[in-house]
Amino acid sequence: MTFFVLPYQFGARCLATQLQSKKIYNSTAEALAAAKVKNGDKLLVGGFGLCGIPMACIQGVKDLGVKDLTVVSNNCGVDNWGLGVLLQTRQIKRMISSYVGENAEFERQYLGGELEVELTPQGTLAEKMRAGGAGIPAFFTPTAHGTILQSGGFAIKYNKDGSVAIPSQSKESREYNGRGYILEEAITGDVALVKAWRADTYGNLMWRGTTRNFNPECAMAAKFCIAEVEEIVPAGTFKPEDVHLPGVYVHAIVQANVEKKIERLTLDSGDAPVSPKKDSQAAKLRERIVRRAAMELRDGMNVNLGIGMPTLASNYLPAGVQVMLQSENGLLGMGPYPKAGQQDADLINAGKETVTTLPGSSIFSSAQSFAMIRGNHIDVTILGALEVSQYGDLANWIIPGKMVKGMGGAMDLVSSGSRVVVTMEHLAKGNRHKILNQCNLPLTGARVVDVIITELGVFSVDKSKGLTLIEKADDTTVDFIRQSTGCDFAVAEDLKTIQQA
């Protein structure tokens, strides 16, 4: 009798073939059936805005009709696309996300007591899933220390009369090296729905543009991961070093090519960036603020610019100044808006706007993005505000019971140790003060602001002594600025006129 010993490599190839054949499904319905999605499951869903969302899988969940879902995702799409379709069918019981944004139905259901919402800082959300996938049950972070997310009592669910039905719980805090941190528990889920560009037959994934965002973290943290991809290629097509996520995290692969929608198509038209109404007084005052904010930027800085007015600061960089703009959805080296016809649905910024990249740019996941932020590798953050206190407390993410936008990445950014510059109009509607002795709204961060820039003047912030007016507009007076400010402030001996880039 003759015996043959099979080489190890042959056995490994056979095993790989078996694994590959088990991961590919013909439809999202088949993949969801394999995942055994049921009522009450916790789904981890990738995407940022409408970029990199697994729309075919979301539609499959809608068709399946499962209810009482807890969904973990950065946001909830828009009213009629992305996860917004599951809100409309009332299949979601609880959302764990960082941003409500412009989803009117999301905000309406939450304020109306129909939906439970755990608003979570964007970087904390990414790290909660990364930690969950890495077997780490909890971690300490400086993000949200000193806010209502630490003390508890924030409304997870309202009663229909506007009272709080389910309050958030307080979180353990601890001090390290003289700085406060709070304990955050990791997130794991039953099923992950992620969207990738390409998969090989083993499940190794690649993304293009900024579609990576939360997708890898979702895949890592779930018991069963379904990857919706545009193309499936044979194992070995990718170089091992080009794989963005190893196939060990992926259990099912479905090929689907769904229309890619752009939430905010933003193009470089060659017009002045501040406002189409260039001759309006409001536009001129906003341009004054933005031009002054640009003076805070120095050559070689890594900078994060918030949504809205702060974003425009990059259009007024002083001559010879080059900076790397960071967008928290996973892009460092953000370029200008694209020309008409050159927009790419897979390349957006944190405001969901179409953008381009510059030479030397890099793209990464949300967890890596906030490691960069939280680790104090970003030099300056410029963002807007609803209120700022004399000691640098910042409130800019919610008006309880009235307006809910979510904190997005703001809590992470202001707790990072970077220089924080606030740009805002000096007064709110009705001439209400926005610079106060103490903030009335829930804080984004306690004692975090370094500079306040308004159309009336520029204040430096001392976290223990308060404000000093260091520059004023040439069309106003110190007395008028005092009348327009809800707290006392010192005036610099060498008070200057507002500088302009």
pLDDT, tens digit, 9 for 90 and up, residues 237-283: 999 999 999 999 999 999 999 999 999 999 987 654 444 445 588 89
How far is it, in rounded angstroms, from Cα 499 to Cα 246? 51
pLDDT of 15 > 60? The answer is no
Alpha helical stretches, state H, 266-311:
281-294
Residue type, 242: D
pLDDT at position 22 is: 87
pLDDT at position 275 is: 42
pLDDT at position 315 is: 87
Map tokens 């000193």 to a residue: 146
pLDDT at position 319 is: 87
Q: Assess whether the region 9-137+186-255 and the region 281-497 belong to the same CATH fold.
A: yes
Question: Are the C-beta atoms of residues 22 and 252 closer than 8 Å to each other?
Answer: no
Residue type, 88: Q
Grade residue 12 by pLDDT with cuts at 50, 70 and 90: low
pLDDT of 4 > 70? The answer is no
The answer to whether the Cα torsion of 92, 94, 96, 100 is positive or negative is: positive
How far is it, in rounded angstroms, from Cα 348 to Cα 355? 5
Question: Are the C-beta atoms of residues 498 and 473 closer than 8 Å to each other?
Answer: yes
Strand 419-423: give its sheet, edge to edge: 357-363, 331-334, 324-327, 302-305, 380-383, 419-423, 451-453, 457-462, 466-472, 490-497
Residue 195: closest CA among 52, 83, 75, 74: 52
pLDDT at position 14 is: 53
**Domain residue extents for the chain:** 9-137+186-255, 281-497
Q: What is the pLDDT of residues 66-115, one digit of tens each?
A: 999 999 999 999 989 999 999 999 999 999 999 997 789 999 999 999 99
Active-site residue, 114 included: no
Domain 9-137+186-255: homologous superfamily in CATH:
Glutaconate Coenzyme A-transferase (3.40.1080.10)
Residues 6+ apart with CB under 8 A from 84: 76, 77, 78, 103, 105, 106
- How far does Cα 103 stand from its chain's mean position? 15
Q: What is the pLDDT of residues 22-54, one digit of tens each?
A: 899 999 999 999 999 999 999 999 999 999 999
Question: Are the C-beta atoms of residues 41 and 69 closer than 8 Å to each other?
Answer: yes
Percent of the chain with pLDDT over 70: 94
Class of domain 281-497: alpha beta
Catalytic residue, from 116, 228, 287, 328: name it: 328
How far is it, in rounded angstroms, from Cα 154 to Cα 249? 34
How far is it, in rounded angstroms, from Cα 316 to Cα 310? 11
How far is it, in rounded angstroms, from Cα 317 to Cα 402? 37
Q: Roughly how many angstroms between the first and final C-alpha of the chain, as a whole number? A: 89
The bridge status of strand 324-327 relative to strand 302-305 is parallel
How far is it, in rounded angstroms, from Cα 463 to Cα 327? 27
3-class SS letters over 339-386: CCCCCCCCCECCCCEECCEEEEEEECCHHHHHHHHHCCCCCEEEECCC
**DSSP character string of 126-148:** HHHHHHHHTT--EEEESTTTTSH
* Other beta carbons within 10 Å of 112: 12
How far is it, in rounded angstroms, from Cα 14 to Cα 19? 9
pLDDT at position 274 is: 43
Q: Which two tokens stand for residue 301?
A: 């800085």
pLDDT at position 382 is: 98
Strand residues in 105-256 grouped as ranges (E): 116-119, 138-141, 155-158, 164-167, 173-176, 179-185, 189-200, 205-206, 222-233, 252-255
Q: What is the pLDDT of residues 203-235, one digit of tens each?
A: 999 999 999 999 999 999 999 999 999 999 999
pLDDT at position 351 is: 92
